[in-house]
Amino acid sequence: MNLLSVSDDHNAGDRAVTIKNLDLTYITTVEKKPTFRQALTRTGRKTREVRALEGVNLEIPYGSVLGVIGSNGAGKSSLMRVISGIIPPTSGRVEIAGKVSTLLALGVGFNPRLTGRENVILGGLAAGLNRAEIEQQFEEIAAFAEIGDAIDSPMKTYSSGMYSRLAFAVSVVVEPDILIIDEALSTGDAKFKKKCLERIKSLRSHNRTIIIVSHALATINDICNDVLWLNQGKIMMRGEPGAVIAAYKESLHVAASPSADEDV
């Protein structure tokens, strides 16, 4: 397997993800002005429900790069967690046709006390590769990440950009059918971001599916062919990137501000 050669296992238009009537409610405990005694005895607690996703229906075909946008707390990360199977939906159905690789919050799945090399091997094993396959790919992963000798240092000594470089290298080496990226590109420098975007375009041209959550609207506009706007757990709009991004910006009343689509 070579990072640059991706096989075509899917036909464009085949369905990668199907979501029907999805609801997700988080239940957390909160205390209303607890007294010291209540805090000790754990009385006076109430449960609070947060409806993170409500009535979401979505079909994502192979061969598409779907951008997911929306305000903080809109439910974007929650939707990614449900699609990747990290949390079950409260109700509704999620059907996935293929192998999902996720690049969610930075460092998920990495053990900071282990070196980059050790984490790559563990990550590969978790993704179902055998040790021989991983060793064969290791040099390629390290070359893609371009972090030099740091590959043999504990990951707790890494900068956040180094962290995401290695995470991205691992997530693409397993040749996912569906790649989910939640804000993980924002810490990479310009050169690495460019390399990641090229890799994303290559996956797309081989009929893989990529879902990218980002507040960097210019990047979304540049690489996505389809955009979903979430607002308070519901789909506000979905379709052609320019139109959806314009409507989202309009809703923020920042359409005239050039900083709104500046990439971070």
Ligand X SMILES: Nc1ncnc2c1ncn2[C@@H]1O[C@H](COP(=O)(O)OP(=O)(O)OP(=O)(O)O)[C@@H](O)[C@H]1O
Q: What are the residues binding ligand X (CB under 6 A)?
A: 26, 28, 50, 52, 70, 72-78
Place of tokens 């997700």: 24
With CB cut-offs between 5 and 8 Å by kind, which of ligand X, Mg ion, none does residue 90 bind? none
What's the closest the beta carbon of residue 173 comes to ligand X, in angstroms?
Answer: 26
Contact segment (CB under 5 A) with Mg ion among 28-36, 46-54, 69-77, 192-200 equals 69-77
Quote the CA–CA distance of 239 and 247 in Å, as a whole number. 11
What's the closest the beta carbon of residue 107 comes to ligand X, in angstroms?
Answer: 16
**Pick 50 or 264: Cβ nearer ligand X:** 50
Q: Are 63 and 206 in contact (CB under 8 A)?
A: no
**Pick 48 or 113: Cβ nearer ligand X:** 48
Question: Residues 25, 71, 77, 221: which binds Mg ion (CB under 5 A)?
Answer: 77
Q: What is the dihedral of CA 86, 81, 224, 5, to 10 degrees?
A: -10
What's the closest the beta carbon of residue 78 comes to Mg ion, in angstroms?
Answer: 8
**Pick 80 or 173: Cβ nearer ligand X:** 80
With CB cut-offs between 5 and 8 Å by kind, which of ligand X, Mg ion, none does residue 2 bind? none
Which runs of E-coded beta strand occur in the chain?
Answer: 15-31, 45-61, 65-69, 91-96, 100-103, 178-182, 209-213, 226-231, 234-239
Q: In sequence order, what are the residues at sequence separation of 6 or more whose Cβ sits closer than 8 angstroms to the Cβ of residue 177? A: 9, 10, 16, 62, 97, 98, 99, 100, 208, 209
Q: Three-class SS of residue 16?
A: strand
**Pick 71 or 77: Cβ nearer Mg ion:** 77
Per CB under 5 A, 111 contacts Mg ion: no
What's the closest the beta carbon of residue 261 comes to ligand X, in angstroms?
Answer: 16
- Give the residues across from 28 on adjacent strands: 48
Chain residues binding Mg ion by CB under 5 A are 77
